[in-house]
C-alpha cells in the first residue's frame, strides 16, 4: 500500500487591526505555530477577511502548494464560510479550511478577554488543536438531494403568520402548528399597539383570515411538535393534535353550546386570569378557527360522567366526546421556530404582593381590562371590588434589568406602559392620576420619543426610582409604598388604588423542550440562539432551522415582522435550489432511521 502523501498545512494568523494584535504578541504566536507538527507554512495578516488578506492566503496556497488551511482570527460563525470560499477559489476543498477564534481572548468587551500571557497560551492551544484536526481529517463525501417543497412554522403568532404567509405566497406548502386552540398569539390580545394606538386585532385580522383560507397553508391548532428527525431539505416531523372534542368541519361557531354549559372557570389565557369562561368555549370573537373547544379538565362529563348539555344543544352534532389525540407525520424541507414569549410571573418578587394583593396586576392583565372585548368590556375596574381606580402606579422593569431575575432589558415594557397610560387618560379615566416609577425610559424607535413626550403632556407623572415594599390596607384593599424621588431629594409615600407591574418578557413555556427536539441551542437567557447576533440573526446551529420574533429575544411587533420575513427568505434561498448538498452520512443515517438497510 503506497504511503499517504504528507499534508501541507498553512496557518494564517490575523491581527484584526488591534483587536487581536493589541492583546497578544503575534510574532511569538507565528514562531510557536511553525513548531507544530504538520505545519508547512505560517503567515500573519493585518485583516485576513479583507480582499487583500484573502488574496495573500490564495497566493500562499498556490506558491506553497498547501492543501489544508487554518486561519486564527475571529468566530467561525462570523467568517468560516468566508475563508472556505477563499480556499475553494484557490483549489482547496472547503472541508479542509478551518477557523479558530483567538480574538475572544483579546478583544475589548469580550467576556473571555484575558491578559496577554494567558491569551497567548489559549491561542497557541487552539491553533495546535486545529492543525491536528486538519492532519487527521478525511474528506467527507457529499450527496445531492432534492428538497421537500414544504415548510413547518412552529407558532401561530404575528411572526409565525408573517413567515408562513410569505412562504405560502411563494408557492411552498406551509404547516403552521399552534398549541393554543386559535392562531394570533399575544398580539390578538393587546387591544392597541404603540406608537399609533391602532387597534391590534384590526391589524392582525387580515393575516389570520388569509392564513385560514390560503390554499398553501395548513393550520394545526391545539397541536404540538413531538419529534423531528432528518436534515435540511428532508425533515421528518411528528405532530400531536390534541382533541378539541368538537368536529371542526361541523362546528359553525354559533356559541349555543357555550351558553348552555353550566361550568364557569377562570380564563387564564384570553382574560389573563381576570375573567371567566365556560368548560366549552370559543376563545374570543375573532378566533381563527372560530370553533368551540372543550376543556376536559373542567368538563363535568369527563370528570364525573354527567351533563353532556353541549352535545344536546349543538344544532350540527359537532360535539364528539370520543375524539382522540391524532398523530400527524409530515415531511418538510425547512423549519421556522416562532414560538413567541411569555410574561414574567412576578410572584417571586414578594415585595410587590402579586398573587397576594388582588389590586396588583401586570401590564398584560391591564391590556385585557382596557379591551372592549375583555373581561370588563373596556371598563377599568379594580379586581378587588369592581370600582374605578382614581390613582394608578406603574412599576417598570419587574423581572428585567435585575441580576436576581433577568439581567436583560425586555425592550417593550416602557412603551406599553406609556401606551396604557395614554389609553387611560384619553379614553377611559381622564381624571385618574397615573405615576410611572422607572429606572430609565427606553423609547428607542421611530416616533417613540414623541410618544413619551405626549404621555407627559397628558399629565402622567414619572418618578425615577424603584418603589419599596407594597403594603395593603386590609379593609379598603388600597395600596401604599415609599419611593425615594431623586429629583426632589426626599422620600415620598405613594398611595394607589391599583398597581400595574411592567414585567419582563421571557421565553415561552416549552422552549427548552422544543430546543431539544429541534437540536437548536439556547442562549444564556433561554431564548433560541442565533448563529451570529449581527450577520446571521435568524439562522441556528442546525442548517435548515430558522428562528424569528420573540423566540429569538425580546422585541416589538415591527422587529418581529422583519425577522419573520428574514427567516422566510433564508428558508426560500435554501430550498429553491434544485438540489441541496449535504454530507452523505446524513442521508444514510436518515435512511437507517426509516428502516432502509
pLDDT single digits (tens) 239-253: 999 999 999 999 999
Is 112 or 32 the better-scoring residue by pLDDT? 32
Query: What is the predicted pLDDT for the residue at 78?
Result: 87
Superfamily of domain 345-506: FAD/NAD(P)-binding domain (3.50.50.60)
Task: Please give the order of strands across the beta sheet that includes 326-332.
Answer: 223-231, 234-241, 326-332
Q: Most distant CA pair in the chain: distance in Å?
A: 94
Does the pLDDT value for residue 2 go beyond 70? Answer: no
Buried b / exposed e across 500-522, counting CB within 10 Å, b at 16+? bbbbbbbbbeebeebbebbebee
Query: What is the predicted pLDDT for the residue at 77?
Result: 85
Does the pLDDT value for residue 298 go beyond 70? Answer: yes
pLDDT single digits (tens) 384-405: 999 999 999 999 999 999 999 9
> How far is 417 from 499, CA to CA, in rounded Å?
12
Query: What is the predicted pLDDT for the residue at 590?
Result: 55
Confidence of residue 1 (pLDDT cuts 50, 70, 90): very low
Share of the chain above pLDDT 90, in %: 90
Does the pLDDT value for residue 515 go beyond 60? Answer: yes
Does the pLDDT value for residue 133 go beyond 70? Answer: yes
| Architecture in CATH of 150-238+330-340+511-524+545-581 | 3-Layer(bba) Sandwich (3.50)
What is the fold of 9-139? Rossmann fold (3.40.50)
Least confident of 115-119, 184-188, 593-597: 593-597
Query: What is the predicted pLDDT for the residue at 594?
Result: 52
CA-to-CA dists, residue 398 to 30, 395, 481, 540, 555, angstroms: 51, 7, 15, 30, 17
> How far is 59 from 56, CA to CA, in rounded Å?
5
**328: nearest Cα among 173, 183, 220:** 220
The burial of 75, by beta-carbon neighbours within 10 Å (0-12 exposed, 13-18 middle, 19 or more buried), is given as middle
Calculate mean pLDDT across residues 481-497.
88
Is 285 or 110 the better-scoring residue by pLDDT? 285
Confidence of residue 112 (pLDDT cuts 50, 70, 90): confident
- Write down the domain spans for the chain: 9-139, 150-238+330-340+511-524+545-581, 256-313, 345-506
Identical fold at 150-238+330-340+511-524+545-581 and 345-506?
A: yes
pLDDT single digits (tens) 410-455: 999 999 999 999 999 999 999 999 999 999 999 999 999 999 999 9
Roughly what angle, to the nearest 10 degrees, separates helices 557-575 and 158-169?
Answer: 40
Which of 48-52, 103-107, 579-583 has the highest mean predicted lDDT (pLDDT)? 48-52
pLDDT single digits (tens) 342-399: 999 999 999 999 999 999 999 999 999 999 999 999 999 999 999 999 999 999 999 9
Does the pLDDT value for residue 464 go beyond 90? Answer: yes
What's the chain's Rg over C-alpha atoms?
A: 29
C-alpha cell at 395: 412599576
Query: What is the predicted pLDDT for the residue at 294?
Result: 98
Supply the pTM of this predicted model.
Answer: 0.92
Average pLDDT value over all residues in the chain: 95
Confidence of residue 487 (pLDDT cuts 50, 70, 90): confident
- Grouping H, G, I as helix, E, B as strand and the rest as coil, residue 444 is coil
pLDDT single digits (tens) 306-327: 999 999 999 999 999 999 999 9
Confidence of residue 79 (pLDDT cuts 50, 70, 90): very high
Query: Do residues 394 and 401 lie in contact, with contact meaning Cβ atoms separated by under 8 Å?
Result: no
Calculate mean pLDDT across residues 153-174.
99
Does the pLDDT value for residue 270 go beyond 90? Answer: yes
Amino acid at each position: 500500500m503506497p504511503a499517504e502523501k504528507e499534508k501541507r498545512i498553512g496557518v494564517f494568523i490575523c491581527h484584526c487591526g488591534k483587536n487581536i494584535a493589541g492583546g497578544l504578541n503575534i510574532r511569538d504566536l507565528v514562531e510557536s505555530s511553525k513548531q507544530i507538527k504538520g505545519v508547512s507554512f505560517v503567515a500573519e495578516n493585518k485583516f485576513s477577511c479583507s480582499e487583500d488578506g484573502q488574496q495573500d492566503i490564495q497566493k500562499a496556497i498556490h506558491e506553497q502548494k498547501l492543501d489544508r488551511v487554518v486561519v486564527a482570527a475571529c468566530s467561525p460563525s462570523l467568517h468560516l464560510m468566508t475563508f472556505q470560499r477563499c480556499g475553494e477559489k484557490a483549489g482547496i476543498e472547503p472541508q479542509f479550511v478551518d477557523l479558530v477564534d483567538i480574538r475572544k481572548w483579546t478583544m475589548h468587551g469580550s467576556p473571555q478577554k484575558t491578559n496577554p500571557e494567558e491569551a497567548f497560551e489559549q491561542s497557541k492551544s487552539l491553533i495546535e488543536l486545529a492543525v491536528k484536526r486538519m492532519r487527521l481529517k478525511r474528506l467527507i463525501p457529499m450527496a445531492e438531494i432534492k428538497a421537500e417543497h414544504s415548510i413547518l412554522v412552529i407558532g401561530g403568532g404575528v411572526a409565525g403568520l408573517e413567515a408562513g404567509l410569505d412562504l405560502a405566497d411563494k408557492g411552498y406548502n406551509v404547516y403552521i402548528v399552534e398549541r393554543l386552540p386559535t392562531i394570533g398569539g399575544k398580539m390578538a390580545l393587546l387591544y392597541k399597539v404603540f406608537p399609533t394606538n391602532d387597534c391590534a386585532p384590526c391589524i392582525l385580522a387580515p393575516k389570520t383570515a388569509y392564513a385560514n383560507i390560503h390554499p398553501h397553508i395548513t393550520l394545526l391548532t391545539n397541536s404540538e411538535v413531538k419529534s423531528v428527525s432528518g436534515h435540511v431539505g428532508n425533515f421528518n416531523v411528528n405532530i400531536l393534535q390534541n382533541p378539541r372534542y368538537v368536529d371542526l368541519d361541523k362546528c359553525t361557531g354559533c356559541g349555543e353550546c357555550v351558553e348552555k354549559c353550566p361550568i364557569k372557570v377562570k380564563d387564564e389565557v384570553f382574560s389573563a386570569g381576570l375573567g371567566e369562561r365556560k368548560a366549552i368555549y370559543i376563545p374570543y370573537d375573532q378566533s381563527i378557527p372560530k370553533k368551540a373547544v372543550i376543556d376536559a379538565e373542567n368538563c363535568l362529563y369527563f370528570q364525573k360522567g354527567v351533563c353532556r348539555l353541549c352535545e344536546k344543544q349543538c344544532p350540527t352534532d359537532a360535539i364528539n366526546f370520543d375524539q382522540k389525540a391524532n398523530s400527524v407525520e409530515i415531511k418538510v424541507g425547512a423549519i421556522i421556530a416562532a414560538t413567541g414569549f411569555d410574561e414574567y410571573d412576578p410572584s417571586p418578587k414578594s415585595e410587590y404582593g402579586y398573587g397576594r394583593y388582588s389590586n396588583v396586576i401586570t401590564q398584560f392583565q391591564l391590556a385585557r381590562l382596557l379591551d372592549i372585548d375583555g373581561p370588563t368590556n373596556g371598563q377599568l375596574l379594580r379586581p378587588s371590588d369592581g370600582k374605578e381606580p382614581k390613582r394608578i402606579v406603574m412599576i417598570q422593569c419587574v423581572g428585567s434589568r435585575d441580576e436576581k431575575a433577568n439581567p436583560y432589558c425586555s425592550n417593550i415594557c416602557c412603551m406599553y406602559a406609556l401606551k396604557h397610560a395614554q389609553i387611560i387618560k384619553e379614553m377611559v379615566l381622564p381624571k385618574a392620576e397615573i405615576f410611572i416609577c422607572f429606572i430609565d425610559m427606553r423609547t428607542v424607535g421611530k416616533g417613540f420619543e414623541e410618544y413619551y413626550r405626549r404621555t407627559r403632556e397628558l399629565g402622567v407623572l414619572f418618578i425615577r426610582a424603584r418603589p419599596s415594599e407594597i403594603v395593603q390596607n386590609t379593609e379598603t384593599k388600597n395600596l401604599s409604598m415609599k419611593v425615594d424621588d431623586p429629583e426632589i431629594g426626599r422620600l415620598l409615600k405613594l398611595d394607589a388604588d391599583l398597581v400595574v407591574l411592567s414585567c419582563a418578557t421571557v421565553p415561552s413555556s416549552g422552549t427548552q423542550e422544543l430546543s431539544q427536539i429541534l437540536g437548536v441551542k439556547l442562549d444564556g437567557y433561554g431564548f433560541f440562539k442565533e448563529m451570529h447576533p449581527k450577520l446571521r440573526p435568524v439562522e441556528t446551529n442546525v442548517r435548515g432551522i430558522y428562528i424569528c420574533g420573540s423566540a429569538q429575544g425580546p422585541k416589538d411587533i415591527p422587529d418581529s415582522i422583519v425577522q419573520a420575513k428574514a427567516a422566510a427568505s433564508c428558508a426560500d434561498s435554501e430550498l429553491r435550489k434544485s438540489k441541496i448538498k449535504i454530507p452523505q452520512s446524513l442521508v444514510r443515517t436518515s435512511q437507517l432511521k426509516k428502516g432502509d438497510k
